[in-house]
Amino acid sequence: MAVVHILLALVLLSTTYVCSSLAVPSSDAVLIVVDQSGKGDYRTIQGAINAVASNNSELVYISIKPGIYREKIVVPADKPFITLSGTAGTNTTITWNDGGDIFDCPTVSVMASDFVAKYLTIQNEFGTRGKGIALRVSADRAAFYGCRILSYQDTLLDDFGRHYYYNCYIEGATDFICGNAASLFESCQLNSLAKNLGTITAQHRNSPSENTGFVFLGCRITGLAGGTVLGRPWGSFSRVIYANTYMSNAISPYGWHDWDDPSKERTVYYGEYRCYGPGANRSKRVRWSRELSRDESAPFLNKTIIGGRSWLRPTPTHFKTHVK
């Protein structure tokens, strides 16, 4: 029955947003260059985003030259099909310093569908004082490649929609990947800064009818020894799966936390499949987490869980100049 339940949920998940899908533009893209030195089209990233027409129907590729961009960025909901691309995650940084309300403080807020980010560091320098979101993703069909997402608490607000993270580095201490999206994290590094009582995920699924959850496939977990759990339930039906993932001794032996609400132990879905490393030993795991079988894990081991074949797209191969 567990396998049937999972398969049914994932079939529904892959079709959740079909009615809102937009026609994918051609592979040609409008090129906009951001360069702080003044040699591009705009000096600021937000300036380049503002230049995109509302209800845009073309691919827009915003190429960001290396530098530290001290900006608070919003990609509005009426500007789909935008790509923000640096040249390397270590030399192109968007940073801000704000905390408090999780919807107001993010350094970068993605509100538009069909968004892509590549080779960027997205950082909130608020530190250990409280919630300081680096990246908020509140839109369907968003993908992130080779990005570094850095803060301390609630680093990534993976709010809603279908999302894909590939080869990203995500760092924090408390609930540093949180929200209620349906997301696949593939080949990512999750680094915990916590000295004790750290939490990687706080997934917010509130009912079994919500086709959401976080899947970590082939990832790597690092950090200080013994102080971090894999997740705790923000929502009563929180769903998180780790598969083929290396877990260092940063992960505590009991693995998961119920957020001091034992009633959620009956409704969460926390699974592990073929994970390895000193933190993957399940001999002392909480009994309400699951060691998945091959059949139970199968639906989570590819991009089908986010319907990726219908919306993940290659980098544009032909560009045309942006006309101001």
> What's the CATH code of the domain at 181?
2.160.20.10
pLDDT digits 0-9 by tens, 46-65: 999 999 999 999 999 999 99
Handedness of CA 304, 84, 246, 156 (dihedral sign): negative
In b/e form, how buried is each residue of 297-311, taking b as 16+ CB within 10 angstroms? bbbbbebbbbbbeeb
175 is catalytic: yes
Per-chain mean pLDDT for the chain: 92
CA distance linking residue 197 with residue 174, whole number of Å: 8
Please pick, among 41, 114, 140, 175, the residue that the annotation labels catalytic: 175
Report yes or no: 79 and 51 within 8 Å, Cβ to Cβ.
no
Number of domains present in the structure of the chain: 1
Residue 125 has pLDDT above 50, yes or no: yes
- DSSP state, residue 297: H
CA within 13 Å, CB half, 250: 23
CA within 13 Å, CB half, 103: 4
CA within 13 Å, CB half, 118: 15
Residue 23 within any structural domain of the chain: no
pLDDT digits 0-9 by tens, 80-114: 999 999 999 899 999 999 999 999 999 999 999 99
List C-alpha distances in Å: 115 to 83, 133, 135: 6, 19, 13
Domain carrying residue 178: 2-18+86-321
Residue 1 has pLDDT above 50, yes or no: no
Please pick, among 41, 114, 140, 154, the residue that the annotation labels catalytic: 154
Q: Can you tell me which residue has the tokens 């680096």? A: 134
Average pLDDT of span 236-264: 97
Report yes or no: 30 and 58 within 8 Å, Cβ to Cβ.
yes
Average pLDDT of span 230-236: 98
Question: Is 173 or 7 the better-scoring residue by pLDDT?
Answer: 173
Which helix (DSSP H) or strand (DSSP E) does residue 83 occupy? strand 82-85
Report yes or no: 284 and 254 within 8 Å, Cβ to Cβ.
yes
Residue 120 within any structural domain of the chain: yes
Out of 22-31, 61-70, 80-89, 145-154, least confident range: 22-31
Could you tell me the pLDDT band of residue 16, with boundaries at 50, 70 and 90? Answer: very low
Residue 54 within any structural domain of the chain: no
Could you tell me the pLDDT band of residue 23, with boundaries at 50, 70 and 90? Answer: low
Residue 8 within any structural domain of the chain: yes
Retrieve residue 98's tokens.
Answer: 């704000």
Out of 221-225, 248-252, 313-317, 319-323, least confident range: 319-323
pLDDT at 19: 35
- DSSP state, residue 314: P
By CB neighbour count within 10 A (0-12 exposed, 13-18 middle, 19+ buried), where does 292 fall? Answer: buried
